[in-house]
Amino acid sequence: MSAAEIREEAFALGPPGTILRGTLAVPPDPARVITINGATGVPARFYQPFARWVAAERNAAVLTWDYRDFGASGAPYRSPARMTDWVRHDPVAVRQALRARFPGLPLWLIGHSLGGIAAGFQEDIAEVERVIAIAAGHGHIGDHPPGMRARAWLLWYLLGPLSTAALGYLPARWLGLGLDLPKNVFWQWRRWLLDRGGPPADPALGGLRRPGITGPLTLIGFSDDTMLPPASVERMRAWHPEAEIELRLIRPGDHGLAAIGHIQAFHSRNAVLWPRLIA
C-alpha cells in the first residue's frame, strides 16, 4: 500500500481526570489496529513517521499518543500523574476506545521502553493479539556500562531529586532526557531503576498480571543500547512464562549504521531497521 493512501486523524480521549491526545494513521480498509506506546520522555510525534510506514506496510490503523500530563496530552508542571497511571490506566483506556472505533479488528501493541515494560501490568493484555517490545526490559542502574552508570548515578541521586524538589517537576529537557515529566512519574521511575526488583516489586503497580502475555511476544534489543542493554531485555522472558517469545538482537553494523542506542531506531534516518521491528 502507498503511504499516500494513509490519512491522519486527531485522537482525543478523556478518561476520568485527564485527557489523552494523539494521531491516528488510517488506511482505507484497515485489517488490524496497532498502538505505539512510547518511552519515558519521548513524545508521540517522534514515532509518527514510523507509524505512517507501519500503517501502509501492515494495512493497520496505527495510533501514536502521549501519556497523561505529558506532550500533547497536557502539562507536567502541577500534575499528580504517576507512572502507575501511564502503565496501568492510560494504555487500557486507549485500547478500549480503539475497540469501540474498530470493532472486531485484532489489536497489536508496539511498546518502546516503558511502553513495552508496561504491557504485563495491564488488565486487558490477554486480549492483545501480538506484543512487540522494543528496547524494553527489566533494568537496574547496575546494568549500565561504567560511563552510563556514572551519568545515571548523577540523575537518580543528585540532579533529578534536587531539580524535581525545587521545581515540582523533572526538567527533563534541561537534563537531556526528552520532554519534562510530572514529579511523581520521576520518583516512581527512579524507584524502579534503583531497585533490583524493578517494576514487579513496586506495590503501586499491583504486580504482574497472570497469566500475562500468552500469545506472540517479540523482545527486541539493540547491541549498543546503554540504557537497557540486551541482558535487561532478555530478563523480560521471566515476566511472561506462557508467551510465545522471540528474542531478537539488532546490531547497527549489520544494517550499515554507526549507532542505534535506546531511542534512534524510530528516527526516519534509520528506516532501514523498520522491517526488522515488525517482522
Write down all domains in the chain, each with its CATH number in brackets.
3-278 (3.40.50.1820)
> What does the pLDDT average to over 155-180?
97
For the chain, give the secondary structure using H, E and C: CCHHHCEEEEEEECCCCCCEEEEEEECCCCCEEEEEECCCCCCHHHHHHHHHHHHHHHCEEEEEECCCCCHHHCCCCCCCCCHHHHHHHHHHHHHHHHHHHCCCCCEEEEEECHHHHHHHHCCCHHHCCEEEEECCCCCCHHHCCHHHHHHHHHHHHHHHHHHHHHHCEECHHHHCCCCCEEHHHHHHHHHHHHCCCCHHHCHHHCCCCCCCCCCEEEEEEECCCCCCCHHHHHHHHHHCCCCEEEEEEECHHHHCCCCCCCCHHHCHHHHHHHHHHHC
Share above pLDDT 70 across residues of the chain, in percent, rounded to a whole number = 99
Share above pLDDT 90 across residues of the chain, in percent, rounded to a whole number = 92
Q: How far apart are the first and last CA of the chain?
A: 17
Express each pLDDT in 56-98 by its tens digit.
999 999 999 999 999 999 999 999 999 999 999 999 999 999 9
For the purposes of burial, counting CB atoms within 10 Å of the CB of 59, is it exposed (0-12), middle (13-18) or buried (19 or more)? Answer: middle
Closest CA to 44 of 1, 79, 94: 94
C-alpha pair distances (Å), 147 with each of 55, 144, 154: 38, 8, 11
Torsion of CA 145, 177, 231, 129, to 10 degrees: -170
* Global confidence as pTM: 0.96
> From its phi and psi, is residue 226 left (phi > 0), alpha (psi between -120 and 50) or beta?
alpha
Residue 2, pLDDT above cutoff 80: no
Average pLDDT, the chain: 95
Which cell numbers in the block locate residue 261? Answer: 542506542
The answer to whether the Cα torsion of 41, 46, 52, 58 is positive or negative is negative
pLDDT given at position 212 = 83
> What does the pLDDT average to over 118-147?
94
Residue 217, pLDDT above cutoff 80: yes
Residue 4, pLDDT above cutoff 80: no
> What does the pLDDT average to over 189-193?
95
